[in-house]
Structure 1
Amino acid sequence: MRVLHTSDWHVGRTFHGVDLLADQAGVLQAIADLVVDRSVDVVVVPGDVYDRSIPSADAVEVCNRGFEAIRAAGAVIVATSGNHDSPARLGAGASFAAAGGLHLLTRVSALDMPVLLDDEHGPVGFYGIPYLEPEITRAELGAPQARSHADILDVAMSRIRTDLGTRRAETPGLRSVLLAHAFVVGGEATGSERSISVGGVETVSASAFDGVDYVALGHLHSPQTLAENVRYSGSPLPYSFGERSHRKAVLLVDIDAAGLAGVERIDLPVVRGLSQLTGTLDELLHDEALEAVEDHYVSAILTDPLRPVDAMRALQSRFPYAVHMEWQRPEGNPELRYRDRVRGRSDLEVAQGFLSDVRSQASVGETRLLEEALRSAMAEEAVSVRSDDPLDAAEVPA
């Protein structure tokens, strides 16, 4: 049996406010094309199918079209819910969907009830562990003592091993694939994942999954191998500039009569590149070497001495997918203490410096307004001091 491991679609996610639905539709079609090209039997999605618990109508439409394309390409789909998904909403109509080849494993109470699919060697059991929030699921799993992710996962895996042992006693050739959404020790986060920590402990050990032929993990967004049979496929698209150096991929998993036969990484097409650029606004707008990244999502760090006016609009005239910009003053040592920076400077110079730091250098008219404001403040302070002086107060007639 040939299994394609993909995860963390996050359909409906935005990237610095930019809608990614078109990009997501494109990459889901690329996955469907791989199903045809590589004769894939099953596509597994271990969690975070959607980016929100209540996805938009457009996100649902894109996701459904992706499911339909993969199913039309010839693969059965097995998916679980992640920490971004609503298990009840994702799993709505699961029994009906299963009849069409889409198996949505979102119920905690059914995590030890596998989807059984046959190949020429017999059945393969696909178990799905939806994201398990200890505070919410420990009662349902009958484990009131469970407090951490490791505790609750141990209970879930105990149930799965018991069921797997029973089934293997009846069907000795049964092989197993497990879908799980968790942060496994040794995995490396990219910065675009939502924390799932509980009391500061969010990780679980890879050994918690012992006894299963292949473990398809979801949650971390870069492809990673924690053991030969325990892997993250990562997300199909980058969701932060911290992922700009990652090549997104899926994992092609072959299951033979003995279990795991091999895993092949297949890089996904780059829908749109990510670039982080640094320089003055003029340099970024006119540097010919940047022609290759003009259609990338761009994060720009501007180093102009003064904050440029309407800089994002100017950047987008060359980089239409510029989505993030920050200004860093090139001069000065930001680590200097404030009192050292203002020592020997007049009140007017301090005020002008503040205005320059947060916006741009004060104009002549603005400087005049600052002078008037400071004179007014000093005059009011002088009046206040005199009224508080007991000698002055004694001279006031009763």
Structure 2
Amino acid sequence: MKILHSSDWHIGRTFHGNSTIAHLGQVLEALVDVVRREQIDVVVVAGDIFDSATPAAESYELLTATLRGIRDAGAQVVLTSGNHDSATRLGFNAGFTGLAGIHIITRQELHDRPISIDDEFGPVHFYGIPYLEPSIVRSAYPGVELRSHEQMLGFAMERVRADLDRRGGRSVVLSHAFIADVPASVGLERDITAGGLDVVPLSTFDGPDYVALGHIHGRARLSERARYSGAPLHYSFSEVGKPRGAWLVHLDADGLDHVDWVDLPVPRELAVLTGDLDDLVIDPALAAHEDQWVSAVLTDVVRPMDAMRRLQKRFPYAAHLEFRPSVVAETTSQSYGQRIAAKSDHEIVQGFLELVRNGVGASEAERRIIDRAIEQRHAQVVETGSVDFDGVGAREVGA
């Protein structure tokens, strides 16, 4: 049996305010092409199908088109809900879609009731463990201590293994969780989390022939039989350079045979560019990034004015900006009163500019403007005995 393992589609997610629907649609079309080309038997999707518990209509439309494409390409589908999904909404009409070969497992009580799909060697049992929040699920199992994700998934896997012992045959488990190769009970002793989920030891999932994991957005091989596929699209600049794709899992008569990686296209690459703004907008070596999502780290000593607009004139898909000056001026612990004590107006303004502009004071042109403003203020004091603070009100001062 050939199984294609994917997860974390996050349909409806935005990328720094930009819709990802069109790009995700391209990637999922490519996934359907893989199903057809490789003659995949089953596609498993391990949670976070949607990015929101209340998906928009266009998100449902993309999911429907993708599932229809997978079925038309000849594969069945088994998917579970993640912590971003509404289990109720995603699982609506699951009883009917299952008749069409699209098996949606979102109800917590179904975690040990497999979807069994046959190949020439007999059945393969697919156990879908939806995202199980202990504080919500524990009421269904009185007398069982379910305070952590480790305890919750440990309980679920004990039931899965018991069911599998009765049935026999090969098995695949889908789970949306933060799994790591750590000692048992570490999650109770230390606060280790990812995306709001507590760590669960890899040993919790001993038994099945393959464990298809979701939640981590980068591909990861925890063992030969337990892997994260990662998200099919880049959703963060922290994922620069990380491949996008899915795992192609081959089962033979005895269980897991081997696993291959299948690349999926990246509609728009990510780039993180570092340097002074003036250099970034003219450097010919950066031309290759002009059609990419760009995150710029500006090293200018003084924060440039209108930086994003200037960046986007060259890099239309600049989406993120960070100011990280190459030189940082020393700061002082003095109070404002101490800093201006016995200083002239010119010195006070100069000191303020140095404070807010990383040690850089007024330019020659700015000094001329400051001189005129101070001269006008002094003239006003001499003439009227007061200073007009531009609508804030007049304040009496000594002549």
Bin the TM-score by the shorter chain. Answer: 0.7 to 0.9
* Pair 348,210 (structure 1): closer, same or farther in 2 beyond 3 Å: same
- State the alpha-carbon separation in 2 of the partners of residues 354 and 209 from structure 1: 56
Q: What displacement does 1:275 show?
A: 0.4
Q: Give the equivalent residue in structure 1 for 2:179.
A: 184
* Pair 178,354 (structure 1): closer, same or farther in 2 beyond 3 Å: same
* Pair 360,27 (structure 1): closer, same or farther in 2 beyond 3 Å: farther
The sequence identity of aligned pairs, in percent, is 45
Amino acid at match of 2:164: L
Q: Extract unaligned runs of 5+ from structure 1.
A: 169-173, 188-192, 384-398
- State the alpha-carbon separation in 2 of the partners of residues 313 and 360 from structure 1: 25
DSSP-derived class of the 1:312 partner: helix
Give aligned pairs, total: 367
* Pair 330,100 (structure 1): closer, same or farther in 2 beyond 3 Å: same
Task: Determine if contact 1:116/1:124 at 8 Å carries over to the other structure.
Answer: yes
- State the alpha-carbon separation in 2 of the partners of residues 86 and 366 from structure 1: 59
Q: Give the equivalent residue in structure 2 for 1:394.
A: none
Q: Give the equivalent residue in structure 2 for 1:6.
A: 6
- State the alpha-carbon separation in 2 of the partners of residues 94 and 359 from structure 1: 64
Q: Give the equivalent residue in structure 1 for 2:170.
A: 175
Within a 5 Å distance, the mapping from 1:215-230 to structure 2 comes to 215-230=211-226
Task: Determine if contact 2:82/2:131 at 8 Å carries over to the other structure.
Answer: yes
Task: Determine if contact 1:2/1:42 at 8 Å carries over to the other structure.
Answer: yes
Within a 5 Å distance, the mapping from 1:291-370 to structure 2 comes to 291-333=287-329, 336-339=331-334, 346-356=347-357, 363=366, 364-365=368-369
Amino acid at match of 1:296: Q
Q: What displacement does 1:367 show?
A: 6.9
Amino acid at match of 1:182: A
Task: Determine if contact 2:170/2:254 at 8 Å carries over to the other structure.
Answer: yes
* Pair 367,205 (structure 1): closer, same or farther in 2 beyond 3 Å: farther
* Pair 314,148 (structure 1): closer, same or farther in 2 beyond 3 Å: same
- State the alpha-carbon separation in 2 of the partners of residues 48 and 270 from structure 1: 20
The one-character-per-residue Cα deviations of 1:75-95 (angstroms, maximum 9, x if unpaired) are 111000000001000000101
Instruction: Indicate the larger mover: 205-214 or 140-149.
Output: 140-149
- State the alpha-carbon separation in 2 of the partners of residues 255 and 327 from structure 1: 50
Q: What displacement does 1:360 show?
A: 9.5
Task: Determine if contact 1:108/1:140 at 8 Å carries over to the other structure.
Answer: no
The one-character-per-residue Cα deviations of 1:340-382 (angstroms, maximum 9, x if unpaired) are 9996974333322345359995845467668959x979x9799
* Pair 43,354 (structure 1): closer, same or farther in 2 beyond 3 Å: same
* Pair 46,360 (structure 1): closer, same or farther in 2 beyond 3 Å: farther
**TM-score of the superposed pair, with normalisation by structure 1:** 0.84
The one-character-per-residue Cα deviations of 1:186-222 (angstroms, maximum 9, x if unpaired) are 49xxxxx96224xxxx011111111111100000111
Asked whether 1:57 is paired with 2:52, we answer no
Within a 5 Å distance, the mapping from 1:1-398 to structure 2 comes to 1-142=1-142, 144-168=144-168, 174-186=169-181, 195-197=195-197, 202-333=198-329, 336-339=331-334, 346-356=347-357, 363=366, 364-365=368-369
- State the alpha-carbon separation in 2 of the partners of residues 87 and 366 from structure 1: 62
Task: Determine if contact 2:180/2:201 at 8 Å carries over to the other structure.
Answer: yes
Amino acid at match of 2:291: D
DSSP-derived class of the 1:25 partner: helix
Q: Extract unaligned runs of 5+ from structure 2.
A: 183-192, 379-385
DSSP-derived class of the 2:10 partner: coil
- State the alpha-carbon separation in 1 of the partners of residues 333 and 261 from structure 2: 53
Q: What displacement does 1:37 show?
A: 1.2
DSSP-derived class of the 1:24 partner: helix
Amino acid at match of 1:215: V
The one-character-per-residue Cα deviations of 1:13-59 (angstroms, maximum 9, x if unpaired) are 11111111111001101110000111110000010001111111111
* Pair 32,349 (structure 1): closer, same or farther in 2 beyond 3 Å: same
* Pair 338,37 (structure 1): closer, same or farther in 2 beyond 3 Å: farther
Task: Determine if contact 2:294/2:318 at 8 Å carries over to the other structure.
Answer: yes
